[in-house]
Chains A and B, each alone.
Chain A
Amino acid sequence: MPELRNFTLNFGPQHPAAHGVLRMVLELDGEVVVRADPHIGLLHRATEKLAETKTWIQSVPYMDRLDYMSMMCNEHAYCMAIERLLQIEVPLRAQYIRVMFDEITRILNHLLWIGCHGLDVGAMTMVLYAFREREDLVDAYEAVSGARMHAAYYRPGGVYRDLPDRMAQYQESKWKSAAQIRPFNEARSGSLLDFLDDFVGRFPTLLDEYETLLTDNRIWKQRLVDVGIVSPERALQRGFSGPMLRGSGIAWDLRKKQPYEVYDRVDFDIPVGVTGDSYDRYLVRMEEMRQSNRIVKQCIDWLRQNPGPVMSDNHKVAPPDREAMKSNMEELIHHFKLCTEGMHVPEGEAYSAVEHPKGEFGIYIISDGANKPYRLKIRAPGYVHLSAMDEMARGHMLADVVTIIGSQDVVFGEIDR
């Protein structure tokens, strides 16, 4: 009899299913995982340390680059923490805009997740469909902020500017004639809200289409059902949040339980899983997209009827408008102070958490009264979920590791920070 022994396998960092730069050292007994040891930090940029050397407002774009698949949600947590310390009120319209874009971000994130997860598990078509819809949503990002990914749109005190009245149109070129681009421009003829309204109207049908591809697909179910089961007790013990916790059957959603902004004014449901396996987490996320769609619709309706300011009028925090700054001594001083020294946040500490597409994303800020944070701690949901990798993968086959990574929805921007 030859001597049998476990062998060690390096999974990643250059592996298409590693979702970025995950290096995982897997100890295998045949094809069964005995131990999984994720090595992270390959994308570590010390965002928290950098934030200590930047003024408060300069760190907003860094937040986009944490979880670079749900940009505005990261900004949201950061701005909310600062607002809590400053104790300023955000205008209602800005709160609705934030909620609307948080939900757009959730759809963006989940679309990318379903695309990549499908690709990892072998459903090649999903990613093409998902990116078709993402295109429209990143266009909405572009319309409000000028950037398709790293928006830096939320600011302490509100949002950078109001929603635009017109959308960018496709131009005629030597490859695409006027007749060819007309259907593309149809939804773009009105304002951003009209464009989103059109999207919200057709998105549920598209989701049904995705479900026909996956939900009852035999291969998809064979790969996902009963893979990576987490019991509710273990999920709490491991600090899970978001879809990972709800997949295990705990109805916990910060938007409902500890509502921030205007989540208590909109109507939506929380989907909950039963068995806590990868398939349940898939179903939870699919349903979340439908619920997000509902919230976006409600926000559009409210925003159409209620114009108003989108930024706080406290000029110790938010810069005055351009015209006032040019003609007014007081405003000029405020503008100068804000753009050189930056705002001062009173001494204290605050933790603000949002229901990020991946779970609870929290920002813990300690301020000593300076124009820069004293300590900024980013609580990334993916970090906690990935730390449970060993527990979830143990006893599964090598191929199931890929499913588990996919169902955790990890993004290394936030895990490595």
Chain B
Amino acid sequence: MSATLEALCQSLQEHLGERVKSLKVAFGEVTIEVDATDYLSVMQTLRDEPGLSFEELIDLCGVDYSTYGNVPREGRRFAAVSHLLSIVRNWRLRVRCFAPDDSFPSLPSVTSIWNSVNWFEREAFDLYGIVFPGHDDLRRILTDYGFIGHPFRKDFPVSGYVEMRYDPDQQRVIYQPVTIEPREITPRIVREATYGNAENA
């Protein structure tokens, strides 16, 4: 682990303490997990504390963990993952926060801390159905006007539920159920850890 990463980990432990539920370092990147209740206060500290000074929120995205590893999942399903960047310190951090309720995922909005998150939270709401109380304009952003469902959830088919066509009888564009069959050309495979590895076989 490089000196910068070590300094970052120390600083995180010092300023966040108990609020960090897990801290992982892999591939030269630091990931922390926080509880939804601490989420807002942790983010505020990350920006304002001079020892951390994450002035920029680079990215926030929703993740649906329901089919992770092709095995039934225990634990919560939806998470919001943010990537923070500090210009002053030249380091990055990933913050993951699971939404407590799977049927109605909700996390506090951080728009007041970083304005750049505005559209990212709208996108996470649109695609995953995670709501962000405190966001003043939580409309859909990428999908069509009047779209139903949250298309990036793992239980939403790639081909969707409705398709659009021009109906010459009604002389307008109509929606109808999709007529294409879903198909999978290359199946999704997760090999066991020892696969193809002669020493461990």
Contact = CB atoms under 8 A, between A and B. Distances in A.
A255 interface: no
A55 interface: yes
B151 A368 contact: no
Contact of B186 (A49, A50, A342, A387): A342
Contacts of B55: 236-237
Interface string B148-163: 0001100000100000
Contacts, number: 118
A241 B57 CA distance: 11
Interface string A405-417: 0000000000011
The interface size bin for chain B is 35 or more
B184 A368 contact: no
Contact of A237 (B61, B116, B143, B144): B116
A384 B27 CA distance: 26
B94 A41 contact: no
Interface string B163-201: 000000000000000000000101011110000000000
A257 B68 CA distance: 34
A121 interface: no
A351 B142 contact: no
Interface in A341-358: 341-342, 344, 347-351, 353
Contact of A87 (B27, B69, B116): B27
B58 A379 contact: yes
Contacts of B64: 375
A384 B141 CA distance: 13
Contact of B83 (A53, A85, A340, A364): A364
Contact of B152 (A40, A49, A54, A250): A49
Contacts of B184: 53
Nearest to A384: B116
A368 B68 contact: yes
Contact of B142 (A44, A340, A341, A391): A44
B78 to A, nearest CB: 12
A329 interface: no
A303 interface: no
A374 B66 CA distance: 11
Given A49-B151, A239-B116, A368-B68, A85 B27 contact: yes
A377 B87 contact: no
| Residue among A238, A341, A377, A379 having the largest count of chain B Cβ atoms under 10 Å | A377
Contacts of B56: 236, 239, 241
A348 B27 contact: yes
B141 A41 contact: yes
B59 A350 contact: no
Contacts of A375: 61, 63-64
A48 B140 CA distance: 17
Interface of A: 40-41, 44, 46, 48-50, 53-55, 58, 84-85, 87, 236-241, 250, 252, 257-258, 340-342, 344, 347-351, 353, 360, 362, 364, 366, 368-372, 374-375, 377, 379, 383-384, 386-388, 391, 416-417
Given A41-B140, A351-B59, A371-B188, 9 more contacts: A49-B158, A58-B186, A239-B116, A348-B26, A349-B31, A351-B83, A388-B115, A391-B115, A416-B142
What 4 pairs between A and B have smallest CB-CB spacing?
A239-B116, A41-B142, A387-B119, A379-B59
